[in-house]
Structure 1
Amino acid sequence: MAINKAMRAALAVLSYSETDIKKSYQRERRLEEIAARRIRKPELYQIWEHKVTCEGHDIPVRIFMPSGQEPYRIFIFFHGGGWVKGSIDSYDAVCADMARLTGRVVVSVDYRLAPEHPFPAGLEDCYAVTREIFLDDTLLGTKAKEIVLIGDSAGGNLAAAVSLMARDRGEFLPSRQILIYPATSNDHSDNSPFPSVRENGTDYLLTIKRVRDYMELYRSSEADLENPYFAPLVSKDLTNQPDTLIITAEYCPLRDEGEAYGKALEKAGNRVEVFRMSNALHGYFSLPVRFSHVKKTYKLINDFLRKE
């Protein structure tokens, strides 16, 4: 099937270039910041800037709060960017669309980035914010069952890892999570068990070389590769996890590992839905809502949320 030309052109603007991300990540971050400043801030929602303190540092949080929606239902959103790029500023438009199209408050987390802050720093930030929202019901007055974790790409990895960490630490437990083309595996070599690594690894904007570079920048050591909080698919225990919706993209190198994670969760006794977005590339969720893949994604999300 031919890839939609409009989507390819739009995603090309988001640009997964073949420059060496290990050398260019700072420049790419600056370009993202400049682009984010030029985008007009959403007008339909009150935007509340908040901070969560964790181990001596503040984690910025941006909350998109629609009026007249009490009691609040919440998304805690972890952005993509390979754990190296992305910010609450660069995802403003995505979060505003998410709030508008789901009717939920969106809490966007500005977790620390690698390589300055390698694994597990960013994950601990995501956990700290999630923990505060679950345990402090005076913050937004929301019951735990109405709090959903959601993330795209590296953010999907973080959402899955927070759910595993929450079960293991026993302080709270999310009831639902939505993982959009998540990174779940520790092997993106030519010997990977997943065909999408080879089939989609060179010609579809996000290359497997860049995935490998992102993971090299994110990890603290080789030992991290066997840590389920780094690569959830290596977990030997996936029991007691949230109801999960996984959406993958047909032409994404991470497609098969995302779907494999869904199968592994289901085998462990969890409720899981997995949907492959046909004719789609990695990164499509950041496109405007007029794109059919984005519309379909929100339909899948809303259908998932309506189920008991």
Structure 2
Amino acid sequence: MAINRGVRAILKALSYGGIDLEPSRQFANLKALDPMKPFYHTIDYKIYNDGHEVPTRIYMPGEQGGKPCESLGCGHPVLLFFHGGGWVTESAENYDRVCSRMASSTNHIVVSVDYRLAPENRFPVPLEDCYAAAKALFQGKFLLNADPDKITVIGDSAGGNLAAALCLLARERGEFMPKRQILIYPALSNDYSENSPYPSVHENGTDFLLTARKMSDYLDMYAGCEEDRKSPYFAPLLAEDLSGQPRTLIITAEYDPLRDEGEEYGRRLMEAGTSVQICRIEDALHGFFALGIKFLHVQESFKLINGFLKEVWEDA
């Protein structure tokens, strides 16, 4: 069902202005006051990136929630998750409900990485924190005894950017290589001005909560200098060579300024020889994945994710 005129008017009113960092962080942190949190089965664990502690939170699936990791045995499938928030807001704790639901809905262990945020820690620090967590997990230096072939990298929005960039960086460094990635309305470009080549930036960039102006503000806070914006690890769409990338599921939202760049990245991956599924959620807004499981868009997303993962395991 399309967004009606009344809802559009409300969305337009809520879409005004750019990013005011501290109020945005305070609003995001309200999600940590989740009354359901006592029922989440989690384990906190830290890895290190060049001496810095990077917190991670582990979510157990289904009936295995709350049991020691050892009881899961070797080889249980894992989703390595990077949260959204424009690289400047949100945290693993704020995403508790999302990750707990993800573990339950997919029957995967979920490992959520609490990477450092910009602008205090600009590019490439958040990416390097994510890379360090992935390296520890893939190389068996993590609390979980995970089978590297059963680890899927996943992220939403800025987390989708980090997931895609991590896979490019992993190919470059050769220390490990994910076999699957799931990118949920990922931010992959470096330009949300009137010069953007993507129609969705112009069509959806003013009235649907996430705006082109806000994306420009996020990039300004993430980039350490102008040269950073030219790096494919900052904006994966800039990568000239997309060969050797993992099997990919890309989920986009119809009323999202990031819609077209996500779908374009999928097409470019296909052209480079990667197996890719590109799925657009009709009538959805950016950020819908964080809504409750009763929302149809969320249910549709998990059908797509589970179908992708099932197909992967059947082909393995």
Within 1, Cα distance between the matches of 2:126 and 2:5? 35
**Aligned equivalents of 2:80, 2:166: Cα separation in 1:** 11
Q: Distance in 1 between matches of 2:125 and 2:191?
A: 21
Q: Which residue of 2 aligns with 1:48?
A: 43
**Structure 2: unaligned runs, 5 residues or longer:** 65-70
Q: Compute the displacement of 1:185 (Å).
A: 1.1
Give the counterpart of 2:137 among 130, 133, 146.
133
Secondary structure of residue in 1 paired with 2:116:
coil
Alpha-carbon distance in structure 1 between the residues aligned to 2:135 and 2:267:
27
Aligned with 2:213: secondary structure? helix
Normalised by the length of structure 2, the TM-score is 0.90
**Preserved CA contact (<8 Å) 2:82 2:160:** yes
Partner of 1:18: 16
Question: CA offset at residue 140 of structure 1?
Answer: 1.6
Residues 30, 171 of structure 1: alpha-carbon distance in 2 compared, 3 angstrom cutoff: same
Q: CA deviation at 1:17?
A: 5.3
Rounded to whole Å, the distance in 1 between the matches of 2:58 and 2:6 is 31
Residue number among 169, 173, 180 corresponding to 1:169 in the alignment: 173
Separation in 2, partners of 1:202, 1:7:
14
The whole-number CA distance in structure 2 between the counterparts of 1:69 and 1:251 is: 40
Match of 2:90 in 1: 86
**Aligned residue among 155, 162, 182 for 1:158:** 162
TM-score (norm 1): 0.93
Which of 199, 204, 208 is the matching residue for 2:203? 199
Deviation sequence 1:36-86 (CA, Å, 0-9, x none): 12443152x531000011112101101002316544210000000000111
Contact 2:17/2:213 (CA < 8 Å) preserved in 1?
A: no
Q: Which residue number in structure 1 is paired with residue 2 of structure 2?
A: 2
Displaced runs of 4+ in structure 1, greater than 6 A? 4-9
Change (3 A) 1:281 1:248: same
**Conserved in 2, the CA contact under 8 Å of 1:177 and 1:245?**
yes
Distance 1:277 1:144 in 2: 30
Give deviations 1:168-224, integer Å, cap 9, x for gaps. Answer: 000000000000000111121112110000000011111110000001100011111
Q: Deviations over 1:12-33 (max 9, x none)?
A: 7xx9753442xx2122212322
| Mapped contact 2:18–2:213 kept (Cα < 8 A) | no
Matches within 5 A, 1:55-66: 55-66=50-61
Contact residue 7 and residue 284 of structure 1 kept, 8 A: no
Residue 113 of structure 1, CA deviation: 0.4
- AA at the equivalent of 2:81: F
SS in 2 for 1:106: strand
Aligned to 2:54, what secondary structure does the other structure show? Answer: strand
* Number of residue pairs aligned between Structure 1 and Structure 2: 302
Q: Residue type of the partner of 1:262?
A: G
Q: Using the alignment, how far apart are the partners of 1:189 and 1:19 within structure 2?
A: 15
Distance 1:49 1:7 in 2: 40
Question: Percent sequence identity over matched residues?
Answer: 52
Given the alignment of the two structures, is residue 95 of structure 1 paired with residue 96 of structure 2, yes or no? no
Aligned residue type for 2:88: V
Out of 282, 290, 296, the residue aligned to residue 278 of structure 1 is 282
Equivalent position of 1:77 in the other structure: 81
- Displacement of 1:167 in angstroms is 0.5
